[in-house]
Copies of this chain bind each other. A is one copy, B any other.
Amino acid sequence: MLLTRQDMPTIPVEARQIFREGKWTDRTSGLCLGFTNAAIAIMPRDQAFDFLLFCQRNPKPCPLLEVLDPGDPIVSDLAPGADIRTDVARYRVMVKGEVVDEPSDLTQHWRDDLVTFLMGCSGTFEAALEGAGIVPRWRQGEETGSGIYLTNIPTTPAGIFHGPLVVTMRPIPNHQVSRAVQVSSRFPGHHGAPIHIGDPAALGIDDMSKSEWAVGPKLLPGEVPVFWACGVTLQTLVRESKPDLMITHYPSRMFITDIPAEEQAVM
């Protein structure tokens, strides 16, 4: 029997137990509020050097929080004892850039040469913005969340990995733009400061009412579009680079860690 959002526990270790039992495969936003969420990428050891190098060169879209040893599925720092094969609500398995499976359990796909990367996520970051009084309209009743857009900005390639940057867009009232920069700068492990403020066309975004992933809220008078690097960059990276095998979380099903979000802030 699947659980409802109201039934879900607020403690990460308990929520992960529910995921492990296959009782929750839905979006994780809003679950265990206040705890650091992480994106995951799992791949064979022989691709892992290139990917580690890619993350080093592109810390804005791919901010590394933890990397497990080859073959080790047990998380150490972010959620001691959690099993990355079972403790995410749903996964996406891609072979040569094509989706081949979207299971709720990775046990059958696991291999002794797989390396797991855990990366920051804007979940952490949005809570901090809200704490600073920058409350998105979707939390005030509007339907639309952040926009997610493909840009014409290339990431810095590394080995087999290359592809364009994907960004999120949040409309921020003029007088709060500085504050949004300050607050997000405190979270370099969760995409950090905006990469661009003000002009979608400069990023190659010609029409913000169109998106492959999510169309953002319309800009109101007195709002500026503010763009942050986005973890969805990983999906375009896989599509363009076609690595032999790449496993990620299913979009919007994040790994929920034991670390309070504020512990991730640098100042």
Which residues of A are in contact with B by a Cβ distance under 8 Å? 45, 48-49, 52-53, 55-57, 64, 67, 69, 158-159, 182, 185, 188, 266-267
7 smallest beta-carbon distances between A and B, as pairs? A49-B49, A52-B52, A56-B67, A56-B64, A53-B67, A185-B267, A48-B49
Report how far A53 CA is from B115 CA in the complex, Å.
11
Q: How far is the CB of A185 from chain B (nearest CB, A)?
A: 6
Q: Provide the residues of chain B in CB contact with A49, threshold 8 Å.
A: 45, 48-49, 52
B48:A57 contact, CB within 8 angstroms: no
Residue of chain B at shortest CB distance from A181 = B267
Report how far A97 CA is from B159 CA in the complex, Å.
29
A266:B185 contact, CB within 8 angstroms: yes
A57:B53 contact, CB within 8 angstroms: no
Q: Provide the residues of chain B in CB contact with A48, threshold 8 Å.
A: 49
Report how far A158 CA is from B48 CA in the complex, Å.
14
